[in-house]
Structure 1
Amino acid sequence: MKIETIICDIDGTLMSPGGGPFVDDKIKKVMIDLQKSGKTIVLASARIFQGVLPLALQIGMDIYGGYILSSNGTYAYDVKQKKILFCHEIKKEDALCFWEMGLKEGVDFGIAQPNYMVESGFSIGFYLDHFNCDVDVMITSDPKKYVNDIISKCSLSQEKEILDKAYNSLKEKIEENYPYNVIRSNDTFVDIVKKGCGKLEGLKELFTYVHLDFKEAAAIGDGNSDASMLQACAFSATLENGSKACKEVADIITPSYKEDGCLVFFEKIMHL
């Protein structure tokens, strides 16, 4: 098996959820060594772009090359060339409509733009996400004033029990009436992206664009949104903290992120 490309989720995989913009030094060193050996890294995350770029720079992707796939597959970026490859935008009028729908269901709503996030509140999912992203947050009851740039995704956040009650209703209303997908990223966070977008779909578009091959790719991830990309690759891993969907398709299960389980995956890649 020849592995040329390594696809990595971030939260719950390379670090704890809400663990900040950087990996620890052990993981950093191994990821740099992999690139020095000729591997290409793709960081595929539900985080917005500003939450992934610091990590990409930490591990030298601006030197060795590599790609960011952020906002659950809607935004692709060539780190070395400093170039946006694609962005599947959400219409402003749709985002503002979803904002009102979310508030009626008792959840906070967020709109992701390049320069700052616009949010209706600072509940747990947004609170954790704030530590990951080098981006300002505007809390407002009047989003029309502050939404003035491209929108890569919208998000819902609330305590798990509240989000559990709201999720199915909002997913049904949005997916049946608008060209968007509603994706549960974790217990306290939901993303809304253009229909047909997701990590696997974004990877397919990226791989076509830059001539990479799933037959020469390995992936690691822990969430439900990672399962399809794990299944598509020649070799894949999830962690002990991974979802049931990931564990059903992964080739190996490593220790949890608390034990730096990703290092077991990287060691396997070194010897494939």
Structure 2
Amino acid sequence: MSGVKAHPIQFVLSDMDGTLLRPDHSLSQRTIEAVRALREAGVFFSLATGRPPKAMLQQIEALGVDLPTAAFNGGTIVHPDGSFLVAHYLPREAAIATLALFGGQAEVEVWVFSGGDWLLHDPHGPMVPREQHGLGYPPVVVESFEPYLDCIDKIVAASNNAPLLVELEAQLQLKVDGQAQVSRSQPVYLDVTAMQANKGEALATLAEFLGVPLEHTAAIGDGGNDPAMFHRAGLSIAMGQAQEEVKRQADVVTGSNVEEGAAEAIERFILGAG
């Protein structure tokens, strides 16, 4: 897509990892100030991420977000007081099919998120330190995922073998078609959530909650789970380091997260600075 749409933006929904956050999961001062400038200009701002709600708290505080935020790719939308605006769980049958496929892969670590906890079998997996650093809290080791099958927020296949995750994404989409969303939030993470748990639905839900028409919204992201909100937003912005498939689905492309691309996009395309 090309060109910036003319509608004035009243609400911005942004991804976190790979977008607002630098590779070390930190927020730059420029990004914090850009979000502050948005809010001072009367533009609503919130977050949509694959993370659990409690893994967003530090960023919510740093950015001064006082609106509901979308966790688990939109499967859970949480008010600032912790109450739910929306909560969608992965259907039991889809969870069973997902766990069966992922569990048979030697190079894949299987993580289940339920009730605010990060559940896994092996706490020594090579991907665990990265995730723990990003989330800010440790996993809970369980012998079986069976007790949680009726209240799963998200299942993740984590692997440094990115091509394998691409193959698993295609295989699983056929198995859970119409039951679950399957998308790579990052090249090394394959997320499985409820059908309603996507960032496009989250954008629409939050826009309605705020009384903002979709044509007056903007979405910023970098991952395979972000085009869902690109397709609903009035203005869609892809990060510079995003894969070409993601960039093609955005209206404009900004700098990378190393280059503070989210702040640049806010300044240039929404506030009109620079």
Post-superposition CA distance 1:234-271 (Å, at most 9, x none): 22321221222332233322221111111211112112
- What is the 5 A alignment of 1:68-217? 68-79=69-80, 81-91=81-91, 95=95, 98-106=98-106, 107-121=108-122, 123=125, 125-144=127-146, 147=148, 150-159=151-160, 160-175=162-177, 179-217=179-217
- Which amino acid letter does the alignment assign opposite residue 52 of structure 2? I
CA distance in 1, matches of 2:246, 2:172: 25
The answer to whether structure 1 residue 226 and structure 2 residue 226 are counterparts is yes
CA distance in 2, matches of 1:257, 1:219: 15
Percent identical pairs in the alignment equals 20
- Which amino acid letter does the alignment assign opposite residue 153 of structure 2? S
The answer to whether structure 1 residue 29 and structure 2 residue 33 are counterparts is yes
The answer to whether structure 1 residue 2 and structure 2 residue 8 are counterparts is yes
SS in 1 for 2:191: strand
Give how far 1:161 is off.
Answer: 4.0
Structure-2 change in CA distance of 1:114 and 1:35 (3 Å)? farther
Give the structure-1-normalised TM-score: 0.85
The answer to whether structure 1 residue 256 and structure 2 residue 262 are counterparts is no
SS in 2 for 1:32: helix
- Which amino acid letter does the alignment assign opposite residue 262 of structure 1? A
CA distance in 1, matches of 2:181, 2:247: 24
SS in 2 for 1:219: strand
Runs (4 or more) in structure 1 with deviation over 6 Å come to none
Give the structure-2-normalised TM-score: 0.84
Maintained 8 Å contact 1:111/1:151: yes
Post-superposition CA distance 1:198-220 (Å, at most 9, x none): 11022223323442321211121
Give how far 1:87 is off.
Answer: 0.6
Higher normalized contact order (CA 8 Å, seq sep 6+, divided by chain length) = 2
Structure-2 change in CA distance of 1:144 and 1:230 (3 Å)? closer
CA distance in 1, matches of 2:136, 2:217: 29
CA distance in 1, matches of 2:35, 2:211: 22
Give how far 1:94 is off.
Answer: 5.3
CA distance in 1, matches of 2:206, 2:112: 24
Residue 46 (structure 2) aligned to one of 25, 42, 51: 42
After TM superposition, the structure 1 stretch with the greater mean CA deviation from structure 2, 34-43 or 226-235, is: 226-235
Residue 21 (structure 2) aligned to one of 15, 19, 29: 15
CA distance in 2, matches of 1:181, 1:250: 20
Q: CA RMSD in A?
A: 2.6
Give how far 1:92 is off.
Answer: 5.7
- Which amino acid letter does the alignment assign opposite residue 11 of structure 1? D
Runs of 5+ in structure 1 lacking a partner? Answer: none
SS in 2 for 1:185: strand
Structure-2 change in CA distance of 1:144 and 1:196 (3 Å)? closer
Runs of 5+ in structure 2 lacking a partner? Answer: 1-6
CA distance in 2, matches of 1:141, 1:166: 24
Post-superposition CA distance 1:135-162 (Å, at most 9, x none): 33023443346x4994221111112244
CA distance in 2, matches of 1:163, 1:11: 19
- Which amino acid letter does the alignment assign opposite residue 182 of structure 1? V
2:4 equivalent in structure 1: none
Maintained 8 Å contact 2:76/2:197: no
Aligned length: 263
After TM superposition, the structure 1 stretch with the greater mean CA deviation from structure 2, 120-129 or 186-195, is: 120-129
SS in 1 for 2:56: helix
